[in-house]
Amino acid sequence: MLKNSNHSGGWYLLPVSLAAALLSACGGGGGGVVIPQLGAATGASLSGTCEALASKLGALQNTAITGTSTVAAGTLTVAGQAVPAHCLVTGKMNQRVSAVDGQTYAIGFEMRLPVNWNGRFFYQANGGTDGNVLTATGGFGGGPQTHALLQGFAVLSSDAGHTAAQNPTFGIDPQARLDYGYQAVGKLTPMAKNVIQLAYGKGPDRSYLGGCSNGGRHTLVGAARYSDQYDGFLAGAPGYNLPKAAVRSIYRGQQYASLVTAGSDPSTPAGLGTAYTTAERTLVSKAVLAKCDALDGATDGLIQDTKACQSAFNIATDVPTCSGSRDGTCLSAAQKTAVANIFKGPSTSAGAAVYNSFPFDSGHGGAGVAFWEFTAPLVLDSGAVGLIFKTPPETAATFNGPAFTLGANIDTLVAQINATNSTYTESGMSFMTPPKPTDLSAVKNRGAKVMVYHGVSDPIFSVNDTVALIDGLNAANGGDATNFARLFRVPGMNHCSGGPATDQFDMITPLVAWVEQGQAPDQVVATARGAGNAGGVNADVPSTWSATRTRPLCVYPKVARYKGSGDIESAANFSCQL
C-alpha cells in the first residue's frame, strides 16, 4: 500500500499495484519509490516463568544478566492505572576497563517483558547525559496517562554506557563517548531482540525507538544509523545538534553574566539569575501574548501562529524600558539587548550562526525555565562541552564548570566540537548527531515512520532547529516529507513538558496506527493538566483555563485556529490550518 496526500491535507491508501502505476505515469514524486505498508504486530504470552528465563539468557554474547524477577500487576502504576504483570530483566553489556582513564565501563540496562505481550519492542532512549537506567516504561509528554509498558510493549531502558557517578568525566574515555553518542543503541538493539525471542518464542514484529531531549536526539540518530532495526521513531524535543545547543547555552550564560546585580556572583545559578528575574521573564511573556495571542482567532493564553508572532512582537518596543531602577515592570536597555542576543543565538567572529534562533512564545516565564537559563550553562553544558563534546577534553581533576563557561571563547568551542585527534577519532558533532539528518530515505523506503514533537517555549533545544530539520526533509523529498515524517509543535510547552501548555498527550498510539495500519495522524489532541489531573498537575497552567482544556497539536506547518464559535476550552472548536 502507498499512502499519499489529497488536496485537503488528508490521507488515503492506494494498493501497491495502482500506486506503482501512478508513480510510473507521473514520475513518482520523490524518486518513484513505492512506500510499503508494514503489517500489524501480533501478540504472545511469556514462555514459562520469569525466573526460568535466566537460564535461557546465559548464552547472550557480551552480556551479563544480573537479575530476573516477576513484577506483580499494580506494582507500577500510571495515572492511577495498574501496570500489568511483567518480567524484569537487568544486566550489562561489554564491561571493560578503559586504557585511557582506568575506569570500569559497561552498558547497563533493564527490560520489562509483559506476561501478555503485544508483539512490539520499544527502546526507551533516556535524556541528559544518561548514566541512569530509568524505569523502562516508555512514557511521553507531561504527566502521561499511558505508556508503552501499559499498552503491552516489551520495553528497554539503558544508561548508554556509563554510570551517573561517571558524569560528565566519562567523556575522557573515547569509547564511552561513542557509546553515549550512538553505539549503545546499536549494541543493545540486537541483544534486546534476542531476549524477546527467548522470552516469547518469537522476535518482535514491530520495533519502536523513542525519547525526549537527549532521548529525542538518540531517536533521530537511530533513524539515521539504524533504520533497518526500527519501524517507528518518536522524537521529543530532539537535540539533534546537541553540541551546538550546548555552546549556545554557554553563550547565554555569558550574556547574563554581564547583567548580574551588584554584589552577586555570576558563577552561581542564584547570582546569574539576578540578571533576569522571574518577574522580568513573566513581563516579557505577557508582552508576547499581548501582541500574538489573538493571531489564531482566539484570545486564550496560547500562541498557535508562531511564525506570525515573530513578526508581530519586538522586544525593543513592546516591553517597557526602565527609566530608573529595575522593579519587574520594565527591562533595562542592556537587558533588552542581551535577551534579544540570546533568542537570536551566537555567531562566530566570521558571522556564521552557531545554532538556530529561538522563537518568542508565551512560556518564557514558566517555572521550569530558570533551571535551563541559569543552572544549565554553569553546571550541565559546561561539563558536556568541556569533557564530552570537545577535542581534546579538559583535565577532569581540575575542571571548573562555571569558570569554563564564563571564560570560554565561542570560536574556540565551535572549532573544538568539530575537532579530532589520534585518541578521539570522532568529533563531538560526529558522534552526537545524525550523519545526514535530512536523508532518511532508508526509513521512508522500508515503510517506517517518524513522529516529532517539540515545545515552542523550549528554552534549551530550539523548536526552530527542529523546524529547520523538517524543512530540510521536505526539500529532500519533493517538497513534502509528511508521508513518513511529521512534526507537532506544542505552543507554550517548555522542555519536554511544563509551561502554560496542553502538554499531556499520547503519541505512541497514533505512531503505531500510522506504522501498522497506514493511518497518518493529521493532529494529536493534547490536554492541559489542571487541578485533579490523574497524571499530575502542571503548576504553569493558568487558573483562567479549564482544568481539562484540550487543543489539537497540528502537523507542521499547520496551526490550530479557532473556528469562531463554540467552547474555547475544547479542541473540537479548533481546526488545523495553514
d(CA 175, CA 187): 13
Beta bridge partners of 551: 526
Per-residue pLDDT, averaged over 113-125, amounts to 98
pTM of the predicted model as reported, rounded to 2 decimal places: 0.93
Spell out the residues 6+ positions from residue 527 whose beta carbon is closer than 8 angstroms to its own. Answer: 502, 504, 505, 533, 548, 549, 550
Q: Which of 157, 213, 249, 362 is catalytic?
A: 213
pLDDT of 24 > 70? The answer is: no
Q: Which of 458, 465, 503, 506 is catalytic?
A: 458
DSSP annotation of 39: P
Per-residue pLDDT, averaged over 412-434, amounts to 98
DSSP annotation of 147: B
Phi, psi of 558 (to 5 degrees): -70, 155
End-to-end CA distance of the chain: 28
Average pLDDT, the chain: 94
d(CA 365, CA 408): 28
d(CA 518, CA 506): 18
480 carries an active-site annotation: no
Q: What percentage of the chain has pLDDT greater than the value 90?
A: 93
Residues 383-413: tens digit of each pLDDT: 999 999 999 999 999 999 999 999 999 999 9
17 carries an active-site annotation: no
Q: Which of 86, 162, 218, 495 is catalytic?
A: 495
47 carries an active-site annotation: no
Residues 59-80: tens digit of each pLDDT: 899 999 999 999 999 999 999 9
d(CA 507, CA 522): 12
